[in-house]
Structure 1
């Protein structure tokens, strides 16, 4: 097999993993691509079960149907790879007594003419190497030296997909948990389209949302302002049996204390000055749906007592009214304050705290999940470029570095505002450092020290501009000079100064949206 075929197949695989769509679908596509382009008879992916620590056959591409099987550590070829973390190459399957032939019911004739390669999928997401699955292929029997090429290819693919397999492993564990809890078949909490969660911390948050969504348990979302508590509340409601009923929201800090009770519980005509007619409160409006109380720590003690009664008795009384009104409401609360401190200060009722703290979910700040910064920035870039009819393709590397170093006191909301501003002021196809707010460009605000001298920073910026121009002109330095509005001599000098290989841009295409 020529080397370029392996590289071409690997490129197709990586392109497929980058497509939008479900993770499982993308991995299934990977197996099909390998089989089609390299002539594999079958490929399969077995993933570690986090509870019983066996391997479960999860995905396969095969002419024969795969049976649902488990592989115990050390048993058979697959179990050996799982236990030892080392690739095994079997030149002829029928010659290997350890081959158990569990999943696909291969005939004796097949096993006599097939080779088999199995390689571990090792994840480093928890700080140490961990086998999260194995990737295997059946192929028409080949000489040992040719099998080594396939071995190296499969090891490269296993390394490339380790992160995706670790995510799928977590998703399968959640599904198993829901099944054990009798929650299978209910709608899952799907994150809203603008809820980006790439980091492990946020995947855990979404997993908790999926666990609690099908129930009617009260949820307390905790985290700094701007972390996405309201979006998560929407996700929990959308994944609940009440999804077709209303989700009503109230920011308890946005109204004066004297108006909050009327807003929550309604009032009767004449209850106070200005009460010219009866008004339903939000508990009534949210009947059989979900009520989201943001910043619940800001409620007055009187309002807290009435919310507690509504939770306990499932009924409310309007301000100025006498008749209790039955309400069926699922409550989701949120706060950025340490409620335990407010209890100690006498500003929050302890009995209400225990009522709303049934299922707490802590949303980490953006500086604690920096893996989410770039995906969020790219999402907002696409969103605002479309909204303002701009043709901005990407964020430059120096700008990405600034975004990544900044400590984001306003969290995701601040990042969203930052990208929106950058899109508004940008007149190019790339967001650069000077399009970002000044607060991101000072070492003091980002709690970091400047690692580059002024001359180095200027040089880095020059290289970036020059590479972009050469990409656009496909390596034509004269055209690049025209685009940059400088002389050819200067471009030629800078290319040599920075050691830029112009030839690699000759066949490149400038992507435009």
Structure 2
């Protein structure tokens, strides 16, 4: 078999591998999947027999085999800092080269069960994975590779190459280390999380890092029966997240029952939750089953739980602790098996100090809190959400609207969204309804967006200024589509080339910057 380019010392093999490694580390890719793909690239392109990653577990203070690409199955293995080759690499923060594994007394041969024959024909290189945090370097683990025996000068080049790779993956390894710690915490509570970065649930848009973390937490808690407390401002998507948690649980084939505790008078909430017997109060003309009964073996979602009266809170606590309820006006005790998901926008800690929320109930429902950030704190989600809603409402209302203009996007991005995703959804729905073109423009957006903050948005203009702004928007839009071709823009806008040229100079538009831009219309319809 011919030597690989890397073994022969040719730099092109390393460069090709680095290019493929960078592709594996593309933003948004599932973490373990991308790191696993990276190890596979190293093995296939660099001629390594096996390559593996060990990461420090801060809680146990031991190194754990986390990911590997190997022809033989890896066994669970831990490494002690300072012991063996990998342990020394972690302890010292310096790489180690073993020219021949059979001759090394320090090599412990864990995890892969290398035979004596294999050890005779293998070299070994291990490098530390180091990250700089607040000006301080921290060793996270070690990246190691088995490779066919080769001269020391080639092994040195392999070391240099692996150190570059270790630098590239340091941030991903730090994130994986955090997830390992969270894994361990959840497993201690009997929660076994599924894949961490699988695609978001249907109709759930999460482009920002903070929302991907929220989805990750929901996937981790979904398979358990633990009570979840969703916290965040109104309109952030708590109900949608509750649905995602239910659908990821073993109870997905059972009912998800919902109640907004703020939508009913306090005197009716108990009847709604626990049911009532015939004649229990005026108007109770027949026996009614409560939501706890209806949600038996399923999930009950209590939105705005902070609005419950203290009496209702006491009964909810009993239902959680004893798995028993009593209907209003009834004496019979009914057993219920319900997974509870709660939500609130209120500061429950303040309600505790005011005596408006029971402390014992708070600690029962606060088993797994999930904080959903406001839309203004995750502006990366605004454009993907707009495009998602635009697609849905265009289909619903039979419109052929293909995209949102750049000035409209800027306006949407700068607005502070006090109503969060709910307000954004309503805004896009209104724009779709009033739009008679193929493009959503600034004047299709609600007046509240255009007048909310004149200093931030630049709206609140005089008639002449508004006309000029609209004229400039149309011109820029056309130049983007034609890639800076002013003649084609003149044809599209049905004016003379002289007018287009005049307006370009008037508004100081740099036509050259559109020459390499992809036409937006094409992108929107792809």
Residue 336 (structure 2) pairs with residue 327 (structure 1): yes
Q: CA deviation at 1:327?
A: 3.1
Q: Distance in 2 between matches of 1:469 and 1:387?
A: 24
Work out which of the residue numbers 191, 213, 225 in structure 1 matches 2:234. Answer: 225
- If the length of structure 2 is used for normalisation, what is the TM-score? 0.70
Q: CA deviation at 1:128?
A: 6.8
Deviates further, 93-102 or 224-233? 93-102
Work out which of the residue numbers 371, 389, 409 in structure 2 matches 1:363. Answer: 371
Q: CA 1:308–1:63 in 2, change beyond 3 Å: closer, same or farther? A: closer
Q: CA 1:250–1:503 in 2, change beyond 3 Å: closer, same or farther? A: closer
Residue 296 (structure 2) pairs with residue 287 (structure 1): yes
Q: CA deviation at 1:110?
A: 2.9
Residue of structure 2 equivalent to 1:62: 70
Deviates further, 337-346 or 146-155? 146-155
- If the length of structure 1 is used for normalisation, what is the TM-score? 0.72
Q: CA deviation at 1:280?
A: 1.3
Residue 112 (structure 2) pairs with residue 100 (structure 1): no
Does structure 1 conserve the Cα–Cα contact (< 8 Å) formed by 2:56 and 2:64?
Answer: yes
Q: CA 1:55–1:186 in 2, change beyond 3 Å: closer, same or farther? A: closer
C-alpha RMSD of the superposition: 5.4
Work out which of the residue numbers 481, 484, 488 in structure 2 matches 1:469. Answer: 481
Q: Distance in 2 between matches of 1:143 and 1:463?
A: 64
Q: Distance in 2 between matches of 1:284 and 1:297?
A: 22
SS at match of 2:121: helix
SS at match of 1:255: coil
Work out which of the residue numbers 374, 394, 406 in structure 1 matches 2:380. Answer: 374
Residue of structure 2 equivalent to 1:49: 57
Q: CA deviation at 1:251?
A: 0.5
Alignment of 1:446-465 (within 5 A): 465=477
Q: CA 1:213–1:63 in 2, change beyond 3 Å: closer, same or farther? A: closer
1:144-199 Cα shifts (integer Å, max 9, x gaps)? 6997699469736853x444434433333333334444544999999744445566
Residue 430 (structure 2) pairs with residue 410 (structure 1): no
Deviates further, 496-505 or 217-226? 496-505
Q: Distance in 2 between matches of 1:503 and 1:146?
A: 47
SS at match of 1:24: helix
1:344-391 Cα shifts (integer Å, max 9, x gaps)? 556x35366456445262514326842xx3246415523641552478
1:383-425 Cα shifts (integer Å, max 9, x gaps)? 6415524788877777666555543322333344445556666
Q: Distance in 2 between matches of 1:365 and 1:119?
A: 36
Alignment of 1:68-467 (within 5 A): 68-73=76-81, 78-79=86-87, 82=90, 88=95, 100=107, 102=109, 105=114, 106-111=118-123, 116=125, 118=127, 120=129, 122=131, 130-136=138-144, 141=150, 151=160, 155=164, 158-159=167-168, 161-184=169-192, 192-195=201-204, 209=218, 216=225, 218-238=227-247, 240=249, 242-272=251-281, 274-308=283-317, 310-311=319-320, 314-342=323-351, 348=356, 350=358, 353-354=361-362, 356-359=364-367, 361=369, 363-366=371-374, 369-370=377-378, 373-375=379-381, 377-379=383-385, 381-382=387-388, 384-385=390-391, 388-389=394-395, 405-421=414-430, 437-440=446-449, 444=453, 465=477
Residue of structure 1 equivalent to 2:461: none
Q: Distance in 2 between matches of 1:73 and 1:463?
A: 64
Q: Give unpaired runs (5+ residues) of structure 1.
A: none
1:318-353 Cα shifts (integer Å, max 9, x gaps)? 34445443433343332222345445556x353664
Does structure 2 conserve the Cα–Cα contact (< 8 Å) formed by 1:310 and 1:316?
Answer: yes
Q: Distance in 1 between matches of 2:471 and 2:80?
A: 56
Count matched residues: 499
Q: CA deviation at 1:250?
A: 0.6
